[in-house]
Amino acid sequence: MEPPQLSVDSTPFEDTSAEPPTPTYTPNRRFSDAFLAAIPKTDLHVHLDGSVRLETLIELAAEQGIELPATTVEGLKEKVFKAHYASLVEYLQGFQYTTAVMQTEAALERVAYEFAVDNFSEGVHYFEVRFAPQLHASAASGGRDMLTVLKAVAAGCTRARDEWNAHAGIGEAGGPPPFEFAIIVCALRMFQGVFSPYYREFCEMHKHESDHRVYGLASMSLITAAVAARREHGVPVVAIDIAGAEAGFPARDHKEAYDWAHKHFLNKTVHAGEAFGPESIFQAITDLHAERIGHGFHLYSADMCDSMQGDEAAEFCTNLVEFIASRRITLEVCPTSNLQTMPELKKSLLNHPLKRMMEDRLSLTVNTDNRTVSNCTLTGELRQTVDAFDMSEKQLKDCIIGGFKRSFFPRPYKEKRAYVRRVIDYYERLEQEMNVDRAPPSPVGII
Ligand SMILES: [Zn+2]
């Protein structure tokens, strides 16, 4: 979920009790915590502004004279960055504070550096960090343009990557694979002038256009800047995404920008099927050429189809699932984030369509979405996923290696293949050394 949207559905969750129970699943004994921590992992769906360290948020706010609801980590966790949220609006509250402190190059570089360190520290060897440069830019002449924003984030990630790759054994034959990263730029499905200085000026400059036209123009502006940053300055921008409120803000508003990205060999992912139905996913794939889908949560929700009902909607969903499966369009699944924003899950992954996605052999990855706002780690996301679905060794391995294979790796394909090979070799070495239990699935398994 990202970033703050003023028009989101404010319906509270069904259970608004102060502290809902944390779901417990039967521990999957095939995988120890140590094994899940040690294996090389990817995070292909993670927002920079949803993953700012709280200590850093407090320090930057103090330096910049920005008022926060609390000035201690405990206070912020109590008031804003909670373990559980009562509504989507509450979930989104934190972004206004993180984006507020990320309005200088130094702050962006620091946040990006720490973000990369936090990922590498838990064995996320490759991540694709996403954010909306226009939320951190100022369009005024002499101000902070999108290139400056992108370069600052790339500089922070590069500093961390180079430090970590200098550790003994990294990248050596038989050892852990090198640490790598790439950047995905997010356009917003909708925005208002209050979102950032850039958007304020953009809305003012285009005040005679319709709202939907303005959203499309902004994503065109983003994608041309992103391609220039990659071409002319070596910033590893690999893909475009659209984030933000789905219902009422269709993907087709951004078709021109996605066509342009497509023609300039940039990859495409789209937040879709998160707050809206299967038709949103279909539109992302057909109109925007999406190769990956952020969440895809409502892939099977035939009842959420707008233009059809009953058997027709059910058949549409079946065909859509087949299309996604056969073309290996990858779903970027974010378990904790979904638990926090989808009341129908009743706070248990057992109600998540991930079970059906695996049964249908879809290409999927497990991701964090927002490390701070969702209060999670990639290792923790894997733990609860392997437990909830009693995943087998093959299922976990497919998921992990699939993350590397389906990544938008920023360098030539031959290098990507060699990198994935190293990952597989190291993964298999850990399987041997850490005695992954190869017992058959237990009777409580649901796959
Ligand atoms: Zn997201």
In this predicted structure, which of 29-43, 95-109, 134-148, 180-194 has the lowest mean pLDDT? 134-148
Cis peptide before 3 (omega within 30 of 0): yes
Task: Name residues with Cβ closer than 5 Å to ligand 1, which is an ion.
Answer: 369
Active-site residue, 19 included: no
Residue 142 CA, ligand 1 centroid: distance in Å:
31
Residue 437 pLDDT exceeds 50:
yes
pLDDT on residue 56: 98
Give the pLDDT mean for 20-49: 90
- Among residues 423, 314, 293, the alpha carbon closest in space to that of 362 is found at 293
Per-residue tokens: 355: 């079970």
How much is the pLDDT for 140? 67
pLDDT at 21 over 60: no
- Cα of 166 vs centre of ligand 1, distance in Å, is 31
Ligand 1 centroid to Cα of residue 271, in Å, is 7
5 band by pLDDT with thresholds 50, 70 and 90: very low
**For position 384, what pLDDT does the model report?**
96
| Least confident among 20-24, 57-61, 112-116 | 20-24
Q: Using the mean position of ligand 1's atoms as its centre, give its distance from the Cα of residue 131 in Å.
A: 9
Assign 86 a pLDDT band (cuts: 50, 70, 90).
confident
Report the pLDDT averaged over residues 66-89: 91
pTM: 0.92
pLDDT digits (tens, 9 = 90+) for 90-138: 888 899 999 999 999 999 999 999 999 999 999 999 999 999 999 999 8
* CATH entry 1.25.40.420 includes domain 33-52+102-433: no
Task: Please say if the pLDDT value at position 251 is more than 70.
Answer: yes
Would you say residue 244 has pLDDT above 80? yes
Q: How far is CA 69 from CA 6, 73, 80, 404, in A?
A: 19, 11, 8, 39
CA of 163 to the centre of ligand 1 (A): 28
Distance 274 CA to ligand 1 centre (A): 9
Q: Which residue has the higher pLDDT, 172 or 385?
A: 385
Task: Say whether pLDDT at 347 is over 90.
Answer: no
The domain segmentation of the chain, as residue ranges, is: 33-52+102-433
CA of 99 to the centre of ligand 1 (A): 15
Mean pLDDT, residues 203-230: 95
Q: Which of 274, 291, 332, 381 is catalytic?
A: 274
Provide the pLDDT for residue 238.
98
Report the 10 Å Cβ neighbour count for 173: 6
In the predicted structure, residue 439 carries a pLDDT above the cut 60:
no
Instruction: For residues 26 and 349, give the distance between their C-alpha atoms in angstroms, rounded to a whole number.
Output: 12
CA of 373 to the centre of ligand 1 (A): 11
Between the alpha carbon of residue 41 and those of residues 35, 401, 423, the distances in Å are: 11, 8, 9
Question: Considering Cα of 108, then 114, then 116, then 119, what sign does the dihedral take?
Answer: negative
Please report the sign of the dihedral spanned by the C-alpha atoms of residue 186, residue 187, residue 189, residue 191: positive
The chain-wide mean pLDDT, for the chain, equals 90
| Residue that is written with structure tokens 């069904």 in the block | 14
